[in-house]
Amino acid sequence: MSQSKNPLFILLAFFSIYVIWGSTYLLNKVAVTELPPFMLASIRFVTAGLLIFAISKAMGKKLRITRAQFFNTVIAGFLFLAFGNGVVVWALRFVDSGFAALVISAQPLVVLLFMRILEGKKILPMSMVGVALGLIGIYLLVSQKQVTSNENSVLGILMIFACLLSWSYGSLFVGKANLPTNHFVNTGYQMFTAGIILGIASFLFDEPWSTPTTWSTPVQYSMVLLIIFGSIVAFTSFNYLLKVVSPEKVATSTYVNPVIAMILGWYFLNEQITTQSAIAAAVLLTGVYFINTKKKLVILSRFTSKAAKYSED
């Protein structure tokens, strides 16, 4: 994909990170109703990793990395994909796809708390408001009887929160780790190694494996879409947007993904969207907005500067 600011490319890239990433919850939910979760995720990431290697090689990218970089990609792959995504797929057997997407959308909140706890960074007042709203939104979301009444739903919720912690810590880890400089190659190693880890987990949990020819048509389509679009196209679009538009605009996917997931889950899987879920979504995503936004802080800074100037006059 070209790195020029082509309006059509930008539009297609935003469609990818909004709709494709938002739809992966539905696709995983469809696939996991028939396939064992760790086997499903293992096949997805190993295949996507190999395809990325092939594409990188065709593009003339060097696949060789240092031992330290390989070790760090294994850690990142585990935090993001093997545990962070693989266990979400496992939990989707017990919770709705829209619910899972909403919980994961709280990642900026958890990253902020981790930065405070592990790095001692001060939380800005506007972000404090976001944290408070985020916690209220999560409480409203998980306190519903409709959510916790299903069999093993509480276990599913706890595992999704564990994945949220894994994703959030992984975000801090990759910021400091020595990783391959090419993002495409880096992702290929993360996906391939995570797929191997998930394959080992699948055998340890004695999951029954099957060939794609025995899968139902909806599951076959879901896996193809997850591999090609969810794992390769959307990630490439994400990296492209980071180079041609502001990070704040790219971060808007945090608000759109759960909405897409909830709508698709309602339409295709008849997942219920309660009034409390809608309110929880609004409160939680507003909190995420306050954590991510910088505009209000700039306005506040300007107001403070003018007030100081007037006081001096």
Is there a contact between 102 and 134 (Cβ–Cβ < 8 Å)? Answer: no
What does 256-310 look like in DSSP terms, one character per residue?
A: HHHHHHHHHHHHHH-----HHHHHHHHHHHHHHHHHH--HHHHHHHHHHHHHHHH
DSSP conformational letter for 35: S
Please write the tens of the pLDDT for every residue from 2-51: 455 788 888 998 999 899 999 999 999 999 999 999 999 999 999 999 99
Question: What own/partner pairs with CB < 8 Å and gap ≥ 24 does 55-64 have?
Answer: 55/184, 55/232, 56/182, 56/184, 56/185, 56/188, 61/182, 61/184, 61/185, 62/182, 62/185, 63/185, 63/188
Residue tagged 């939680």 (tokens): 284
What is the C-alpha to C-alpha distance for residues 289 and 200, in angstroms, rounded to an integer? Answer: 38
**pLDDT at residue 16, rounded to an integer:** 93
DSSP 252: T
Domain for residue 303, yes or no? yes
- Write the DSSP symbol of residue 151: T
The answer to whether 243 and 3 are in contact (CB under 8 A) is yes
pLDDT tens, residue by residue, 6-20:
888 889 989 998 999
Amino acid at 95: V
| Structure-token match 């995504």, residue found | 85
**Residues in Cβ contact with 184 at an 8 Å cutoff, skipping those fewer than 6 apart:** 52, 55, 56, 61, 236, 239
- 39 in a domain, yes or no? yes
Tell me the whole-structure pTM to 2 decimals: 0.84
Check residue 227 and give its pLDDT.
95
Domain annotation covers residue 266: yes
The predicted-structure confidence for 102-148, as pLDDT tens digits, reads as follows 888 888 888 888 888 888 888 888 888 888 998 898 888 888 877 76
Q: For residue 105, give both structure tokens.
A: 């959308």
Q: How many domains does the chain have?
A: 1
Residue 160 lies in a domain: yes
What would the pLDDT profile of 175-216 be if each residue is shown by its tens digit? Answer: 888 988 887 898 899 999 999 999 999 999 999 999 999 999
Residue with tokens 């696949």: 63
- Local confidence band at 313 (pLDDT 50, 70, 90 cut-offs): very low
- The confidence band for 303, taking pLDDT boundaries of 50, 70 and 90, is very low
Within-domain flag for 189: yes
**Residue 1 domain flag:** no
- Domain encompassing residue 157: 7-312
- Return the exposure string of 265-287: e unless at least 16 CB atoms fall within 10 Å of the residue's CB, then b: beeeeebeeeeebeebbebbbbb
Coil, helix or strand at residue 17: helix
For residue 294, what pLDDT band results from cuts at 50, 70 and 90? low
3 state SS for 186-219: HHHHHHHHHHHHHHHHHHHCCCCCCCHHHCCHHH
The answer to whether position 2 is within a domain reads no
**Does the residue 148 lie in any domain?**
yes
Cα-to-chain-centroid distance, residue 200: 23
